Amino acid sequence: MKKIILDQKNKIKVKTRRTFAIISHPDSGKTTITEKFLLIGNVIHEAGFIKPKRLKKHTRSDWMDIEKKRGISINTSVMQFSYLKHHINLLDTPGHEDFSEDTYRVLTAVDSCLIVIDGSKSVESRTKKLMKVARMKEIPIITFINKMDRDTHDFLTILDDIEKKLKIFCAPINLPLGCGKSFKGTYNIYNNTISLYKKNSLKKKIFKKFTYLFLKKYFQKNEISKFFEEIDLVKSGYNIFNKKKFLRGEVTPVFFGSALNNFGIQEVLKKIISWAPYPKNRNSLTRKVCAFEKFFSGFVFKIQANMNLRHHDKIVFIRIVSGKYQIGMRFFHVRTKTTKVIKHAMNFIAGERFFIKKAYPGDIIGIHSTQDIKIGDTFTEGELINFIEIPKFTPEFFKIIYLKNSFQHKKLLRGLKQLSEEGVVNFFKPFINSYLIVGVIGKLQFDVILERLKNEYHIFAKYKKTNVSLIRWISSANKNLLEKFKKENNSFLAYDSDNEIIFFTTNVFKLNLIQDKYKDICFSEIKKF
Ligand code: G4P
C-alpha cells in the first residue's frame, strides 16, 4: 500500500469545488435551469444552447436518432464553470425516463443534488425513484419548486407532498407570494424580505421589507391575513434550516421561483456554493480515500462507446476522488493491473470539448480508450484500491434475444458484453438453455439495443417474449446451502455478463416462497460492481 500523503495545495483546490447534478421528472425545467446556471457562469450568452428545440421533444423514432448522434449528449453530459471563485461541475442526467439507470450512476459521481419540481404538478413518479437512490447514498439535496409564474398547487400541499412522498424533511427558505398571474415574488423567512418578481430578472433584484403596508399594494385584505397564517404554519410546522442535517441528507432546503424567468435561480446557485459539500472522502474496499491526498485515484461512472464506429473506441468518464490529473500522467488500471499513459484528458463545456492540463478531486475527466474498461473500474497511481461506488440495479423488463443469422452468436455475445459494460443492457445466460435473456430498466432500451447492435456490430437480432419478470443476484456465506440451492433450482438460474449467478422467476409471490425456503441465501436487487 502506498503511504498516504496529504497535499496542502490540493486541499485549497478541493475546497472550492462543487460537483452536483440536477434531477427531475421530465419537463420540470432541468434544462432551463442548467442554461440559466451557464448564463450566470458566463459560459453561454443565449438560451437554447444546451438542448436545441428540435431535439427537445423526442418521439420514439427521434430518440433513436439522438442516440445515433451521441456526440450531442456527450458534450452536454458534464459542464464546468466558475462562479464566485468556485469551480462548479454540473453533471447532466438523461432526460428520458427510460434511461434512468444512467441517472442512477451519475448520482454516484456527485456530492450533492438539486431536485427540481414543477409547482403545478408537485412530486411526480420519476422524482420519487431518483430520490430513493439519492437517499440511499445520503446525498445532500436542495429543492427548487419551479414554474411559480403558472397556476400551481398551494405551497403547503407541495411541502407536504415532498415530506410524504420523498421521505425527507423540508426546511423552506423562501415562500411564494401568489402564483400564476398573481405571482408577486418570494418571501425569505430568514431575513424577512420580499424579492419582487420580475420576468427575466437575471441582473438586478428588488428586495422589500415584508410589511403589512407593503403587501397592501398588491393583495386583498383576506389574502394578506392568509399569508400571515400560512407563514406561521410553516415556521411552526417545518424544520429550521440546519446545515449538519442537510449534509447528512435528512433535511432539504426548499426554494420557490421560476427558471424560465430567471427568478430565484441565482440564489440557489449561491446556496449550492455556500451549503453544498466540497468533494469528500470516499470508501474503497480497503480504506477511506481522502480528497486531499497527494496521489491520484478515481472511478469510472460512465462510458460512451463507439464514438467512432470504425475504431470501436469509447470515452470513459472518471470522477476524480483524490490527487490530481496532469497531462501525460500514468494511470494504473486496478482491475486489469495495467498502466496507461493519459496524453489527453478532456472536459466538456456546453457543446465543446477541451483538452485539459490539470484536474482535481470532484472534477470529471473524459479519456479516449479502446481498452477493456468497465463502469465501476478504479484508476490510481499504483495502489490496489477499488471504489465501491457504482451499484447495478436489477432490470425491470426482460426479453429473449435471438439472431436472424445464427452464425453470429459469438459476435452477439461480444456486442452485448460491450453494451453491458457501457451500462446499456444486462444479459443473462440460463444454466440449462442456450438462449440469452436481455434485461433493461426502461422499455425503450430494447429498441436502442437492436439499433446499436445493427449499426455498430452489424448484428441483426430479434426478440421473443419471456415470462421472466424479476431477477435477483444470489450469494450466501453458507457454501453448502448455496450448492444445494443451485442443484435444486438450476432451471431458474443464469449467469450475468460477469459470470455471477442470478435467480430469475415470474412473480414476486414465487420469489417470496423461495426466499422463505432458503433463509440463509441473500437475494439482492442491487449488485455492487
Ligand atoms: P426538462 O429539461 O426538465 O425536461 O424541462 P425543460 O427545461 O425542457 O422545460 C420544460 C418546459 O417547461 C419548457 O417549455 C420550458 O420552457 C418550460 N419551463 C421551464 N421553466 C419554466 C418556468 O419557470 N415557467 C414556465 N411557465 N415554464 C417553464 P416547452 O414549451 O416544453 O419548451 P420551449 O418551447 O419553451 O423550449
Is any ligand 1 atom within 6 A of the Cβ of residue 93?
A: no
265 HSE (CA, 13 A, CB side): 29
**Ligand 1, residues 31, 32, 38: which to mutate, most atoms within 8 A of Cβ?**
32
pLDDT at position 43, please? 79
* Ligand 1 contacts CB of residue 262 (under 6 A): no
pLDDT at 164 over 90: yes
- Could you tell me if the CB of 26 is within 6 A of ligand 1? yes
CA 107 distance to own-chain centroid: 4
For 358-388, how does the pLDDT look when each residue is reduced to its tens digit (9 = 90+)? 999 999 999 888 777 888 899 999 999 998 7
Residue 9 in this model has a pLDDT that exceeds 50: yes
The string of pLDDT tens digits covering residues 237-284 is 999 999 999 999 999 999 999 999 999 999 999 999 999 999 989 999
**Centroid of ligand 1 to alpha carbon of 154 (angstroms):** 20
Domains annotated on the chain, with CATH:
21-75+86-275 (3.40.50.300), 282-380 (3.40.50.300), 391-528 (3.30.70.3280)
Pocket of ligand 1 contains residue 152 by CB under 6 Å: no
- For ligand 1, whether the C-beta of 147 sits within 6 Å is yes
Q: Whose CA is nearest to atom 9 of ligand 1?
A: 29
Average pLDDT, the chain: 86
146 Cβ below 6 A of ligand 1: yes
What whole-number distance in Å separates Cα of residue 247 and Cα of residue 386? 25
Q: How many CA atoms lie within 13 A of 288 on its CB side?
A: 5
Instruction: Report CA torsion sign: 239, 240, 245, 247.
Output: positive
Atom of ligand 1 nearest to the CA of 257: 23
Closest CA to 197 of 234, 235, 241, 147: 147
Q: How many angstroms does the Cα of residue 18 sit away from the middle of ligand 1?
A: 25
Over residues 423-435, mean pLDDT = 89
- 441 in Cβ contact with 393 (< 8 Å): yes
| Smallest CA separation from ligand 1 atom 28, residue | 260
Closest ligand 1 atom, residue 33 Cα: 7
pLDDT value at position 1?
Answer: 57
Q: Are 422 and 314 in contact (CB under 8 A)?
A: yes
Nearest CA to ligand 1 atom 4: 27
Distance from the alpha carbon of residue 345 to the mean position of ligand 1, in angstroms? 34
Probe residue for ligand 1, chosen from 24, 25, 27, 90 as the CB with the greatest number of ligand atoms within 8 Å: 27
Confidence at residue 401, expressed as pLDDT on a 0 to 100 scale: 96
Decide if pLDDT at 442 tops 80: no
* Residues ≥6 apart with Cβ < 8 Å to 459: 403, 408, 411, 412, 415, 453
Instruction: Check if 150 has its Cβ closer than 6 Å to any atom of ligand 1.
Output: yes
Least confident of 198-207, 401-410, 450-459: 198-207
241-255, 309-323, 449-463, range with greatest mean pLDDT: 241-255
Per-residue confidence (pLDDT) for residue 57, from 0 to 100: 45
Give the three-class secondary structure for 188: strand
Instruction: Evaluate whether 104 touches 110 at the Cβ level (below 8 Å).
Output: no
Q: Is the pLDDT of residue 70 over 50?
A: no
- Which segments of 115-219 does DSSP mark as H helices, in order? 125-136, 155-165, 212-216
CA 428, 431, 434: angle at the middle one, nearest 5?
70
